[in-house]
Amino acid sequence: MNALTNQAILEEAPQADSPFVVVMKLWARWMTLTDRREAGGWAHPQDVKEFMRAGEAVDAMVNDLPSAQRWAIYRAYGIATVWRFPSLPLAEVVIEAEQVLTPKMLRNVDVKRYFQPF
């Protein structure tokens, strides 16, 4: 009984996001800003600067993707509400986009820090 309880707790425990997901959530937040010159709030100026630069870098990477992959990322991270390629499986196209974006993120000075352990 105790082993079942522990297993249930482990299955319900929130999992840490992968570095890719962390960066993509940062980009999605950046995409929702009405004025991309300011992040707003009371954040430290250096944090805001790093956030803005990372958002801009990821946006450039996403814009370089083929159309289906770009729209899959938009859909997966809440930028778009419609999947415009019904003949392609969304989940597979998102995985393909992640495989293309991850090496680019690891080479970018503004983004690669999210992939390094603290």
Whats the size of the chain, residue-wise? 118
**Is residue 35 over pLDDT 80?**
no
Dihedral sign, Cα of residue 30, residue 23, residue 53, residue 99: negative
Q: Which amino acid is at 10?
A: L
Least confident of 2-11, 47-56, 108-117: 2-11
CA distance 42 to 32: 18
**Is residue 89 over pLDDT 80?**
yes
Residue 1 has a pLDDT of 45
Task: For the chain, give every domain's residue range.
Answer: 18-115
The 3-state DSSP class for residue 43 equals: coil
- What's the mean pLDDT when you consider all of the chain? 83
- Tens digits of residue pLDDT in 101-111: 999 999 999 99
CA distance 49 to 56: 11
Torsion angle, CA of 107/117/59/100, rounded to 10 degrees?
60
Residue entry with tokens 């390629």: 85
Predicted TM-score (pTM) of this structure: 0.78
Least confident of 26-30, 34-38, 80-84: 34-38
Q: Which amino acid is at 29?
A: R
Residue 39 — pLDDT band, cuts 50, 70, 90? low
| In contact, 103 and 115? CB cutoff 8 Å | no
Residue 6 has a pLDDT of 47
Q: Tell which residue, 99, 31, 33, has the closest CA to residue 65.
A: 99
- Tens digits of residue pLDDT in 45-67: 566 788 889 999 999 999 999 99
